[in-house]
Amino acid sequence: MNSIQQRIEELKQKLNRYSYEYYVLDRPTVDDISFDLMMKELEALEEQYPQYLSPDSPTQRVGGEINKEFQQVEHRFPMLSLANTYSKEEIVDFVRRAEELLGMKDLEWVCELKYDGLAISLLYENGILVRAATRGNGQVGDDVTANIKTIHSVPLRLMGDDYPAEFEIRGEVIFPHKAFEDFNRQRIENGEEPFANCRNAASGSLKLQDSRQVAKRNLDCFLYFIIGDGLDLQTHYQRLRKAQSWGFKTGNFFAVAQNINEITDFINYWDKQRFELPFDIDGIVIKLNDISLWDRLGSTAKSPRWATAYKFKAEQAFSKLTGVEYQVGRTGIVTPVAEFEPVHLGGTTVKRATLHNEAQMELLDLCKGDTLVIEKGGEIIPKIVEAKHDEAILSQGKAERIRFVSHCPVCGSELVKEQDQAGRFCPNYNHCPPQILGRFQHFISKKAMNIESLGGEKMRYLLNAGKVSDFASIYDLRQEDLIGTYTSEDGKKISIQEKGANNIITAIDISRKVPFERVLYALGIRYVGEVGAKTLARHFENADNLAKASAEELLGVEDIGKTIAESIVSYFADSENLIQIEKLKQRGLQFEIIKEEKSNLLGGKSFVVSGTFKSFSREEIKKTIELNGGKNVSSLSSKTDYLVCGERIGPEKKRKAEALNIKMIGENEFISMLG
């Protein structure tokens, strides 16, 4: 091994060790600056000597691969789900059944936390992470390896040397509370809807196509189950401890229980302490400790008989209703929010909860002074499950029922209720302040015009200050218009300096190139979502054709129903909207599909594109392939014709291409194929 290779290996070992100490043990032994300097040195060496780049390198945690389709993989061992129990009596029955089936008494059990996230299976070969897969249907799951590598607590290379040549370890991907709150705060600032709970957000994160976006979410992963050949340890507890020595994050939230009383004590302790944890759990898992007995107990079609899950009851709190506030969204929908006396629930103090819509309010039959039953369960957002009336007031006939408002609480317009819709909305589309703010925040959001340097909160301040009056006025802003200090309605202040103002102007200019389907989505037409906007743009090709379309013509478009069709007709019947579109056209926004010439130069050949390029982005290369008659495929197979190799392509991909005899071409060779 030469000196360069030795230095690369030394840096890899140090960085992996420091990551383990920081993300798993929570005991960092090196400062951030030193860590970053070592990482930069390693990146530079691997770029200069790509032959020494390996999948277990800490530089490979975020490769930037775009995964359009998640490949499905078959689990070597089925990923069964656990049977759920909801009472201590059911736990007693579970233990008794196991003892009767085995003909044994005084069995040992391991009690663990039941993490509330997404189940994952990690496959290791010779100490290297080679694949990560979701549970799926238990037999087949999605390959999410690139996204799992972004989680720093998941080791890319194991420590020690006593691990089996091949094994699986299973666990749960979670969204820690602080990371979730930071992520939701950013979404709100960008004018996007916050996620309701950590579990759904963690699950959705692993299905993102860009691993760089997953990395920004700071997910975590607890591992709790090892399966495979060559595992000599005969108890589940020993395997968990051994997994810790290999670098896995198993936590220290598990214990051996000798009897049902010790199991119950563990459950009771964590039923109270769970609210002090920095992540969500929804119960306790109980597993037979002696692994040799698992096969004797066997499994049902869905669940093992040697393990079960005790689910905590959703925590409830009681509070007195003090009033109902009504919030107006960007599409005019009015949402009622119950306000009640502050109460401690699920580790936080809450005093508000959404009532969703008029129908839900009527179902609860709210009266002034009601006692509300509030629940959190696994949800971050509290919900009201029942309203208890004061019986004395009811018997006297003095109960004052709370009715849904008939007029907009902000602009005073009479609310409208559409047939088949649960809620009411304010029809004052162009002049209702919260609708205007919501539409501005939607217009600049990532999936619309993507003016990311501006952000939802800055937009609020600019609107309050009169710096913008409609969408078109955003494109009239100059750097000197933005510099200054702004105050919100509640007295909060922000400052925009020269550099920040310059970034905003640059982002605004770039957004003029956003394609028509996203501009259409950005307009915020009621019921027209991201997919619907793309469908309409491709069908009508430009805004003028769409504006002239009748409801009947719109209904003839695939996936466009009556509600969307009527909303579009209504939008284009409003002269103010037509004036707005005309002004946006004058400022250079795209209001028609740009047709690109196609050829058959690549004649049906299939391509995999990997790495980074000088003349193209990876997406531009893929688009060029399609425009010239080629096909993009997500993974290498014997049917792939070419692997287009950029810089920093992974060595595993190259080795696979060589094994399958796939021709590898560089950027210049690809350009020459196009003449």
pLDDT at 63: 52
The pLDDT tens digits for 359-399 are: 888 889 898 889 999 987 555 678 898 999 887 777 676 77
**pLDDT(218) > 80:** yes
| Minimum mean pLDDT range among 13-17, 61-65, 88-92, 644-648 | 61-65
> What pLDDT, on a 0 to 100 scale, did the predictor assign at position 21?
78
Strands (E), 551-615: 606-610
* Mean pLDDT confidence for 225-252: 91
Give the range among 53-62, 89-98, 108-117 with minimum mean pLDDT.
Answer: 53-62
Give CA–CA dist 270/95, Å, rounded: 20
Residue with tokens 């796939």: 662
Angle between helix 433-443 and helix 455-464 axes, rounded to 10 deg: 140
Alpha-carbon distance of 254 to 542, in angstroms, equals 61
Binned at pLDDT 50, 70 and 90, residue 413 comes out as very high
More confident residue, 623 or 120: 120
pLDDT at 346: 65
Helix axes 177-189, 455-464, angle to 10 degrees: 40
Contact between residue 65 and residue 211 where contact means Cβ atoms under 8 Å apart: yes
- Tell me the mean pLDDT in the region 36-52: 82
Higher pLDDT, residue 151 or 418 = 151
Distance of CA 638 to the CA centre of its chain: 33
Q: Residue 77 pLDDT more than 90?
A: no
| pLDDT value of residue 404 | 93
pLDDT of 290 > 60? The answer is: yes
Average pLDDT over the chain reads 87
Per-residue pLDDT reduced to its tens digit, 182-201: 888 877 666 566 776 788 88
Give the pLDDT mean for 69-79.
82
Query: How far, in Å, CA of 561 to CA of 536, rounded?
Result: 12
Side chain identity, residue 388: K
Mean pLDDT (whole number) for 171-175: 95
Closest CA to 536 of 595, 592, 583, 471: 592
Q: Are 477 and 487 in contact (CB under 8 A)?
A: no
Which of residues 419 and 243 earns the better pLDDT score? 243
pLDDT recorded at residue 420: 65
User: H helices of 491-574, where?
Assistant: 498-511, 516-522, 530-540, 543-548, 551-555, 562-573
- Comparing 88-97, 549-558, 591-600, the range with the smallest average pLDDT is 591-600
Reduced to 3 states, what is the DSSP secondary structure of residue 140? strand
Asked if the model's pLDDT at residue 342 lies above 80, the reply is yes
Identify which of 205-209, 426-430, 552-556 has the greatest average pLDDT: 552-556
Instruction: Give the 3-state secondary structure of residue 22.
Output: helix
Q: Which of 25-34, 78-87, 231-240, 589-598 has the lowest mean pLDDT?
A: 25-34
Closest CA to 547 of 574, 516, 521: 574
Mean pLDDT computed over 48-56: 81
Please answer whether residues 231 and 164 qualify as being in contact, where contact means their C-beta atoms are separated by less than 8 angstroms.
yes
pLDDT of residue 637: 84
Contact between 159 and 134 under an 8 Å Cβ cutoff? The reply is no
pLDDT band (50, 70, 90) for residue 104: very high
Catalytic residue of the set 68, 88, 114, 272: 114
Residue 81 — left, alpha, or beta (φ > 0 → left; ψ -120 to 50 → alpha)?
beta
Residue 60 has pLDDT above 90, yes or no: no
Q: Is the pLDDT of residue 65 over 90?
A: no
Residue 489 CB neighbours (<10 A): 8
Whether the per-residue pLDDT at 36 is higher than 80: the answer is no
Lowest mean pLDDT among 79-83, 301-305, 409-413, 430-434: 301-305
Helix and strand counts by DSSP (H, E) for the chain: 26, 24
pLDDT-wise least confident of 173-177, 296-300, 393-397, 572-576 = 393-397
Report pLDDT for 379: 53
Q: Mean pLDDT over residues 590-614, rounded?
A: 84
Q: Which residues on neighbouring strands pair with residue 199, listed in sequence order?
A: none
Task: Look at the pTM and tell me if it is higher than 0.85.
Answer: no
Exposure class string for 335-369: b at 16+ Cβ within 10 A, else e: bbebebeebebbeeebeebebbbbebbeebebbbe
- 236 pLDDT tier (thresholds 50, 70, 90): very high
Comparing 122 with 660, which gets the higher pLDDT?
A: 122
Give the pLDDT of residue 627: 85
pLDDT, tens digit (0-9, with 9 covering 90-100), for 448-507? 998 978 888 889 888 888 899 999 999 999 999 999 888 777 777 888 899 889 999 999
Judged against a pLDDT cut of 90, whether residue 302 lies above it is answered with no
Please give the pLDDT value at position 285. Answer: 97
Domains in the chain (CATH in brackets) are 3-60 (1.10.287.610), 73-311 (3.30.470.30), 316-395 (2.40.50.140), 433-511 (1.10.150.20), 516-586 (1.10.150.20), 606-673 (3.40.50.10190)
Q: What is the pLDDT of residue 380?
A: 60
Whether residue 64 has pLDDT greater than 60: no
**Per-residue pLDDT for 43 more than 90?**
no
Q: What is the mean pLDDT of residues 43-63?
A: 80
| Whether residue 114 lies in the annotated active site | yes
Distance between CA atoms of 609 and 618, rounded to whole angstroms?
7
